[in-house]
Amino acid sequence: MPINYYIFLAVALFCIGVAGVLTRRNAIIIFMCIELMLNAVNLLLVAFSKMHHHALAATTPSAGIDGQLFVFFIMVVAAAEVSVGLAVIVMMYRNTHSIDVNFLNRLKH
Amino acid sequence: MVPVLLILIPLVTGLVGFFFRSEGPAKVWALLSSLATLVVSLVGLGLAKSSPFLHANVAWLPDLGSRFAVGMDGLSTILSLLTAICFPLIFIATWRVKYSKPWNFYALMLLSQAGLIGVFLATDALLFYFFWELALIPVYFLSSQWGGERRIQATFKFFVYTFVGSLMMLIGIIWIYSHTADHSFSLESFYALRTKISSHDQTWIFWLMFVAFAIKMPIWPLHTWQPDAYEQAPTAVTMVLSAVMVKMGVFGLIRWLAPVVPVGTWAWGDTVSTCCVIGMIYASLVAIRQDDLKRLVAYSSIAHMGLMCLAVFATDANGMQGVMIQMFNHGINILGLWIVVDLIERQFGTRKISELGGLAQKAPGLAILLVIVALANVALPLTNAFVGEFLLFSGVFTSTATQYNVVFMCVAGLSIILGAVYTLNMIQRVFFGNTNGLTERGVDIKFNEKVVLAVIVVIIVFVGIYPRPVLDLTKETADFILTKMSYKQ
Amino acid sequence: MAILAAILVVISKNPVHSVLWLIVVFIAISGHYILLDAQFLAIVNLIVYAGAIMVLFLFVFMLMNLNAETEPQKNRWLKIAGVVTGGALLLVLVAALKRADLKAQIAEMNKGDIGLIHNLGIALFHDYVIPFEISSVLFLSAMVGVVVIGRREGAPKPPFGQDYGA
Amino acid sequence: MTHLVWLVPALPLAGFLINGLFRNSLPKSLTGIVGCGTVLVSFVLSLLIFGEVRQEGFQPAVINLFDFISVDKLHIAFSFQVDQLSTLFLLIITGVGFLIHLYSTSYMHEEEPPHFARYFSYLNLFVFSMLLLVLGANYVILFIGWEGVGLCSYLLIGYWFKNLDYGYAARKAFIMNRIGDLGFLIAIFLMITKFGSVDFAEVFGKAGGVGRGAITAITLLLFVGATGKSAQIPLYTWLPDAMAGPTPVSALIHAATMVTAGIYMIARSHVLYDLAPATQTVVAVIGLATALLAATIALKQHDIKKVLAYSTVSQLGYMFLGLGVGAYDGAVFHVMTHAFFKALLFLGAGSVIHAMGGEQDMRKMGGLRKWMPATHITFLLACLAISGIPPFSGFFSKDEILAAAYGKNPIYYVIGVFTALLTAFYMFRLYAMTFRGAFRGTHDQEHHLHESPAAMTIPLWILAILAVVAGFLGIPEAFAPHAHWLAGYLRPALGEAAHGPELAKGTELGLMAVSVALAVIGVGYAWVRFSKKPDLAEPTGFGKVLANKWYVDELYNAIVVRPLDLLAQFLVFFEKNIIDGIVNGVGRLVHYGSRQLRLLQSGLVGGYVLLMVVGIVVLFLVELFIKK
Amino acid sequence: MNGASQRLTHQGTTAGDTQYIQTMNAIVLSAIWGIVMMFSGIVTSSKTAIRNTAVVGLLLLVIVNYADMVGYHVEIDTHKMLFFDTFGLLGNSIAFVSTLLLVLLSGRDMEKVGNNLAEYFALIFFVLCGVAIVTTFNTLLMLFLGIEIISIPLYILTGSDKRNLKSNEAALKYFLMGSFSTGLMLLGIAFLYGASSTGTFFIDDLWTARAQVGPLFMAGLLMLLVSMAFKVSAAPFHFWTPDVYDGAPTVFTSFMATIVKVSIFVGFIRLFDEAFGADQVHWQIFVALITAATLFIGNITAVFQQSVKRMLAYSSIAQAGFMLLALLTLNGIAKQGIILYAAAYSLATIGIFAILIRMKDYTFEGFNGLARKQPVLAATCTIFLLSLAGIPLTGGFFAKYYMIAAVIATGKFMWLVVFALLCAAVSVYYYFRVIQAMYFKDGDGTTEAEPSSGFKGLLVVLAVGVIVLGVFPQTLLHQLTRLVYTW
């Protein structure tokens, strides 16, 4: 099937993630939306890697593998981010018993 | 050699000056340093034009094509001489003024002197810009620290105003630099360009740089920082500002702008000249209404500077020589005026003309000296200013650079009359008439002040009667600049 | 289906539900991976994301035991604006990309084996050894970070200085 | 001898310096000696020079002292020119000057020593500048003297600086002169452009070569300068006010010498004026108008010095008439005679005022001849001279001008003669009200009345003699051919045509008869009318207009001073609110913008991300639509 | 001259390949030392000891990095993942030296933040590791990893003052927005990957691999631009900066504002020069827009701030605007300039922050009359501020000079130059407010504790350094000129 479909699918997911980040106020949900964005990217990368593989398989059998490896690294990083992120959120929650980002306005102007 | 000394002496002594911790020594130190500078500059005056000691050229930033190049031709000699004369006089005249942390005051004064002399001596654009700012920064601190009650705002306005100007100038300099064949900031390679720059670029460059100079001079309508700054700065600093610093504008125009972008200069000459003429009349009229002595002098200075700028754009031999000698004269005369104003303010604690009167009875010496200086200010014959203004006006009148020369001259000439009006008003209402409660307890001037004013008067009269030396000194430079400015060949 | 689930993630009121919906999204995406024969990634995605990470999320929710959005819905303008801009972003991206003539490019099914652990492993430990090492540093720092954050240091103190601004 | 000419101005300068610098230490006597002595010596020198110059075939000598200004093409030497004209003026200035210095020693003796010294130093400075003016060999040196005398007149008018009004009078004089000077200056620049030089010799040499228009312009501008200095319409109003100064000053500066600088300058540049008939007409008309106007005003003045002042203006008008009709030697002749009799009149008035203890209002005088005979006689002689009664000097000089005027245009003559009538009338009104009739002053004034001391009367007598006999230097052709010594003497300097149009013997005599007749009528009428009952009543109707000088000062105030003042006021406002307002406005704008921009920093993550996304969208839009 | 084309000529030479095979002394060392620090916290509790270890580590870093520059290094094949050149290494050395100075100046103040000193240092070292990667990356993967390695520890450091709500808030904001921008970056990378015909992440292949500047390529480019702009806090992606800088413990603010920002800039320029240099015409306009916006918002907003700390946050945005000019032009002058700018800016900013940390009150009023109490601090602070304002005789002047010169040399974007300098004039306003407060206003502005003479001495050294940079940039400039030839 044409790569375009994948592109649009991924972009759609990405934008949904963005919209989520914009609309939701629960820190964790926002964070989840970001994860959603990352996954959209992963999907896109895999699709592209497949595309390149299909285009160049004849000359170089391992073509397109970089894409999948990149996805792998993204997952790695994502995992790390999650741990840190959740830690920060928990710390926040400890001090102010809320995780509503709209309450984070001590710093402004 | 000589120019390097001229810059180094005040620079080093100034830096050392910060480490004094008592008034007396700091004062004496500053005075000695300025006298040393004076001596050196006199030596420079004495040396023959061809002397190797009049130039120095050391590698500074080879990668940028900028060198520490300083040199003394007629113009820079006369102006550095002016600076060197002014500072000792200022120190002596304000000898009795008490400052908090005087050592800092005198140190900063010396630093600004270094900057000023550097501006006049630099033959490398980047160096020129450096000194330009070096002269400005100490003045900022001086005025904000020791000035009048509105000092911070006024000084800051002055600083930002001039700083914007100098930034524009920086763009202009770099722009020219990007045109130079050998990517160098040296005066020669700048002069080599002239018509090689497209007239479109010349217009840009001209305005970018002229704004800086116009603000410094200042030219109407960019002058509004000046009265406030003069009013608020401590008088010693005001003397520096108006006696020397405003000359930086004219100097920059002559040395760095007009010969480098002759086409742009020529193309916009009429516009600028119109501003100058308007400014002269405008300033004179405003001066008539001023009640504060400092503001009055400030406006009169605006009028005079306008005339010089006008003459530069006249591109005429008489005019150019007039500008050069008049820069010197104006510096001396206005210094005298400031000293008198300072004396009055120190004695009576006011600068309001309306509160003064009848001083001539109490301080005849002061009155006579003031009258002489004031008459020089209105360019009476046999005072130095007459020679200057005569040449300036004749330059404007005979100018071939514009077809409005007659109009410019005649309108500008009105300022002679107006100048007489406000100057005589001032003499009239401050010195003549009967004393009032305030001026009753007036006393005549002290010895040191008398000496300073006497020196000034002597210079005024000497140059007024026998201006030849000055004219011969600047002749070569004037011709050179003019050949550069006439872009047709 | 993935899109549907994704939208549900965003709109569902109860955080726990949105977590669950997110898991659905991940599963759907993994399906796509299989289709694009990136088998290894599919598995990893399921295990790491759908499994570990999401459990972590749930755990945190339970820890904070807030199951419904507690605060009332304030400034919905921000919401609407958010949706609008999100849509706008989608639009411009699509607009930008649909001019891309990739019609020819086909991502074909069930061909090639680059997706197999074997090949990936070889590539990973040959060409990509440096990034691999580097990512270890990443984890290290994350770990240290969590340690730093995790330690208790007593009750919150008021922010130093006065509250500037406004 | 001529090479020593620089001593002539140098000596007064020395006097100025000595008196000026040591004013606090010198005793009055010494001051007086220095003041008078220097002038006397330069008078003697002038005589010696004169002796040399008057010989036949003397060629004008130019003594080059040093280079004043020399810029590439322009060379202005500090040089003196000695010829018949300048020498004549040397004599007048130093001679009359000396007498007045002498007179002053006793007139000013009540002053404090420092001020006494100040007075004499000013006076010497004036003599110096005046000499510079007449000796200068080019227009710039002339101009230097020109402004120098202006300065001195300023200083001397404001000599009593405690009195603010005097100060204002001084300022008025200086500024009005400045207006004229501007014209003069522009004329000089025009010469520089046209001739490339300002030397008399060179300018006159090249004068023929340049267009009529340029010459006319130059001459007109020079004349503007002259109107300022020599108090002609429209710039004459300063002279009457200038009477604020000490009377000897009025005599020296505002009657004898300075005010005649204009005449000297035009006579000096007669070559140019001959080439510009249009200008000549202007000069003649202005001169005539001034003469008439001033004479009418003089009719109704009560201040003794004011009358003399206006008569001076009127006489100067005559001289310009003479210049205008080409009778240069006539004008110079009148300058000389006028110098004598007007100085005499002023000094006489001075001695009267001195006797009256500073009183200047004629209505408070009367019958003074009883108390001060010397003054009375000399004053009478002077009055006769100015009224043009033969054989007194005024008759000759005035008639020469009138005759020339007639030759040019009879209307000139008619008006001129009418003015002469008025002159005779008001002069004798003055005489009668002062010396005849009964004393009208207060008692202690009467008590105080006395004849002035010798130091004052001697100059009076000398001047009286001169005023009587000076006329015979210029006996008209009509009486004796070639008896006009002065014309002969001045011919080398003023050229052949200097005498103005020649008239037939008959007509000339006729004209004289008419003018003399009118003069006599004027004298007689005034004598009989005012000896018995002087006019003390406040003038009414037209008389009021005259008494108020045709309201000219008020007019000037309304059309020049006030508008300028308003303009200045407006500019101050404009400065503060518009120009500076804009400058500060920029600063305020930045502040305002800052305050607004801060609000973007809402503190809400959602808002931040939103703005970021908006930014991205914008970038993409640019990519999609705006770019290329 | 755009980087890509030179890179081609460069690859012809054999010297090129060795540069891939160079080691990453710095990277390895910083990573290792991070671990060392970690354990140092366990083995000893003496803060001084810990601090000294850190100092030693930093010294070593500087040394090995210099060794790299002069070519002493163990050889490891990085598979073209990293590319070492003078530009990147200079960037490194600036970062390391400034960190050293920072630790020397404000090491003590870290203790006040919380009682995990060892970990803080460990994190700092990890960040430096990331810095070393970002300045020398050769593939988007490494860029991504480097950025993350920088960011994650920074989230922690921002929130490290745990009992301070502001600190927490800042951390959370930073984290959320940071990971959001990571998402954007990844999307961009994905697009580029798709756009490249051969499917590569190597930045020097990207521009050869792209068939033509297609929409996919541009989309990816823009996304990368945006995410990098976010990291260097360029408008309109700067919003995190003021809050985070304000909230974070001041020591770490100073660290972020100088070392991190500067090194990411180096990476930024590297990326756009290597990967997109050939297509400059296509993206210059965007950079120009962002630059203008950054300068405008940064300078104007700073004017009204009441807190010096927050003012410095905005000023750092404004300075970023100036550095963007280098990205705009990407010519030799610009590359020299950015290094000089980095040095001058870092020195000055570190100095100011070091003084700020010692202040009782962070508002402008807090500085009133400091000159009387602490003349040395006031004087040095003045010099730093002058440098930031770009007054001649200070390094800041030459920094700005190079930026302007770079743009003027291109002959385009004159409006931007004028605009930039007008903004610089505005910046004078808020910088001089501090000076005015210190010198001309009366007040009892003072420090919390009498600063040690060593601290003062170091400040003076720093100030002298700034001035030397301003009068004789030669020393650095020579390096730079060499660097321009190697490019």
B458 touches chain E (CB under 8 A): no
Q: What is the pLDDT of residue D142?
A: 94
* Amino acid letter, residue E123: L
Across the B:E interface, residue pairs with CB atoms under 8 Å apart total 68
From CA D62, how far away is CA E295, in angstroms rounded?
72
Q: Using CA atoms, how far apart are residues D258 and D250, in angstroms rounded to an integer?
A: 10
* Min Cα separation B153/chain D (Å): 11
Phi and psi at D199, nearest 5°, equal -70, 140
Contacts of B133 in chain E (CB under 8 A): 391-393
DSSP structure string for B173-239: HHHHHHH-TT---BHHHHHHHGGGS-HHHHHHHHHHHHHHHHHHTTPTTS-THHHHHHHHS-HHHHH
% of chain E with per-residue pLDDT over 70: 91
User: Quick one: tokens of D449?
Assistant: 């009345």
Q: Which residues of E315-330 are buried (b: 16+ CB within 10 A; e: fewer)?
A: bbbbbbbbbbbbbbbb
Least confident of C137-141, E174-178, E315-319: C137-141
Q: How far apart are CA B61 and CA D139, in angstroms?
A: 55
What is the biggest distance separating any 2 CA atoms in chain D, rounded to whole angstroms? Answer: 118
Please report, for residues D349, D420, D430, D460, the alpha-carbon distance to residue D379 in angstroms, rounded to integers and kept in the order given: 8, 18, 10, 8
Nearest-Cα distance to chain E for D573, in Å, is 28
Length of chain A: 109
Q: Is B192 exposed, middle or buried (0-12, 13-18, 19+ CB in 10 A)?
A: middle
Measure the CA–CA gap between D597 and E342, rounded to whole angstroms: 27
Identify the H or E element spanning D84. helix D84-107
Contact by Cβ (8 Å): D241, D151: no
**Average pLDDT across chain E, whole number:** 85
Largest CA distance in chain A: 59
Q: Confidence band (pLDDT; 50, 70, 90) for B463?
A: very high
Arithmetic mean of pLDDT, C1-16: 72
For the segment A75-102, the average pLDDT, to the nearest whole number, is: 85
Over 50: is that where the pLDDT of B327 sits? yes
Contact B228, B143 (CB under 8 A): no
Query: Is B152 an interface residue toward E (CB < 8 Å)?
Result: yes
Q: How far apart are CA D437 and CA D364, in angstroms?
A: 11
Contact B/E (≥3 CB pairs under 8 Å): yes
Q: Is E442 helix (H, G, I), strand (E, B) or coil?
A: coil
In a 10 Å sphere around its CB, with 0-12 CB exposed, 13-18 middle and 19+ buried, how is residue A77 labelled? buried
- The pLDDT of residue E486 is 52
Residue D395 token pair: 């008759």
Give CA separation, D73 vs A71, D192, E80, in Å: 86, 10, 76
Indicate if the pLDDT at residue D359 is higher than 60: yes
Residue C123: pLDDT over 90: no
Q: How far apart are CA D203 and CA D273, in angstroms?
A: 12
Q: How confident is the model at residue E2 (pLDDT cuts 50, 70, 90)?
A: very low
CB < 8 Å to D613, chain A: 18, 22
B42-46, D556-560, E107-111, E446-450 — which is least confidently predicted?
E446-450
- Measured between alpha carbons, how far is E249 from E239 in angstroms, rounded to an integer? 18
Interface contact A106-D603, CB threshold 8 A? yes
- What does E212-279 look like in DSSP terms, one character per residue? SS-HHHHHHHHHHHHHHHHHTT-TTS-THHHHHHHHS-HHHHHHIIIIIHHHHHHHHHHHHHHHHGGG
The greatest distance separating any two alpha carbons of chain B, rounded to the nearest whole angstrom, comes to: 69
For chain E, the maximum distance between any two Cα atoms, rounded to a whole number of angstroms, is 68
Residues 57..96 of C with a Cβ closer than 8 Å to A: which?
57, 60-61, 63-64, 66, 69-71, 74-75, 78-79, 81-83, 85-87, 89-90, 93-94
CB neighbour list of residue B412: distance below 8 Å, 6 or more residues apart: B276, B277, B280, B281, B306, B307, B310, B393, B396
HSE-CB of D128 using CA atoms within 13 angstroms: 22
Residue D62 CA to residue D5 CA, distance in Å, equals 10
DSSP state, residue D504: -
Cis preceding linkage at D476, omega within 30: no
Single-letter residue type at A27: A
Nearest to D237 by CA among D306, D137, D337: D306
pLDDT tens-digit readout, E276-302: 888 888 889 999 999 999 999 999 999
In this prediction, residue D297 carries a pLDDT of: 92
Both tokens assigned to B292: 């504060």
Smallest CA–CA separation between D599 and chain E, in Å?
10
pLDDT in tens, B409-443: 999 999 999 999 999 988 888 888 888 877 777 78
Predicted TM-score (pTM) of the model is: 0.89
pLDDT > 90 in chain B, percent:
53
Q: Evaluate whether D453 touches D106 at the Cβ level (below 8 Å).
A: yes
Contact assessment for residue A3 and residue C106, using Cβ atoms and an 8 Å cutoff: yes
pLDDT for the residue numbered E187: 93
Q: What residues 356-415 of chain E have any CB closer than 8 A to a CB of chain B? A: 386, 391-393, 401, 404-405, 408-409, 411, 414
Q: What is the pLDDT of residues B77-128, one digit of tens each?
A: 999 999 999 999 999 988 888 888 899 999 999 999 999 999 999 999 999 9
- Give the pLDDT confidence score for residue C161 in this predicted structure: 38
Give yes or no for residue B234 having a pLDDT over 50.
Answer: yes
* pLDDT tens sequence across E396-427: 999 999 999 999 988 888 899 999 999 999 99
- pLDDT digit string, tens, across residues E106-162: 888 888 887 788 889 999 999 999 999 999 888 899 999 999 999 999 999 998 888
Q: Looking at this protein, which amino acid is placed at residue D506? A: G
pLDDT-derived band at A23, boundaries 50, 70, 90:
confident
**For residue C2, how many C-alpha atoms fall within 13 Å in the half-sphere facing its CB?**
24
Q: With contact defined as beta carbons under 8 Å apart, do E360 and E471 qualify?
A: no
Task: Give pLDDT, residue E5.
Answer: 36
* Closest to D80 (Cα-Cα) out of D35, D128, D39, D119: D128
pLDDT at A1: 61
If we measure between CA atoms, which residue out of D279, D453, D455 comes closest to residue D355?
Answer: D453
Mind listing the pLDDT tens digit for each residue in B199-233?
A: 888 999 999 999 999 999 899 889 989 998 998 99
Averaged pLDDT, A101-106: 73
In tens, the pLDDT along D273-304 reads 999 999 999 999 999 999 999 999 998 888 99
Which residues on adjacent β-strands are paired with residue E210?
Answer: E196
Q: In whole angstroms, what is the distance from residue D11 CA to residue E49 CA?
A: 94
List of chains touching B (3+ CB pairs within 8 A): D, E
Please give the average per-residue pLDDT across D93-106, as a whole number.
92
**Cβ pair B133, B118 in contact under 8 A:** no
Q: What is the dihedral of CA C96, C99, C103, C106, to 10 degrees?
A: -30
**E58-87 pLDDT, tens per residue?**
988 888 887 777 777 667 777 778 887 778
Average pLDDT of the residues in D446-463? 88
> What pLDDT, on a 0 to 100 scale, did the predictor assign at position E14?
37
The reply to whether omega before B221 is within 30° of 0 (cis) is yes
Residues of D in contact with C86 (CB under 8 A): 613
Q: Are C48 and A76 in contact (CB under 8 A)?
A: no
Are the C-beta atoms of residues D462 and D96 closer than 8 Å to each other?
no
Spatial CA neighbour of B38 closest among B101, B84, B104: B84
Backbone angles phi, psi at D155, to 5 degrees: -65, -40
Cα angle, residue D208 at apex, residues D205 and D211 outer, rounded to 5°: 135
**Measured between alpha carbons, how far is E170 from E242 in angstroms, rounded to an integer?**
9
Assign B356 to helix, strand or coil.
coil
ipTM comes to 0.86
Q: Say yes or no: D168 contacts chain B, CB-CB below 8 A.
A: yes
Partner-chain contact A39 C25, CB within 8 Å: yes
At E3 the pLDDT is 37
* DSSP-H helix ranges across D269-370: 270-274, 277-299, 304-324, 328-355
Q: List the subunits that have 3+ CB pairs under 8 angstroms with A.
A: C, D, E
Nearest to D8 by CA among D54, D51, D40: D40
Residue C24 pLDDT: 85
Q: Are A67 and E199 in contact (CB under 8 A)?
A: yes
Helix (H, G, I), strand (E, B) or coil at A100: strand
Q: pLDDT exceeding 70 applies to what percent of chain D?
A: 99
CB count within 10 Å of CB D87 equals: 27
pLDDT, tens digit, 9 for 90 and up, residues E423-478: 999 999 999 999 988 888 887 767 777 888 889 999 999 999 999 888 888 766 66
What confidence tens digit (pLDDT) does each residue in D236-281 have?
999 999 988 899 999 988 888 899 999 999 999 999 999 999 999 9
What backbone phi and psi angles, to 5 degrees, belong to E161?
-85, 85
The verdict on A56 touching C (C-beta cutoff 8 Å) is: no
For the segment E337-364, the average pLDDT, to the nearest whole number, is 90
- Write down the pLDDT at residue C70: 53
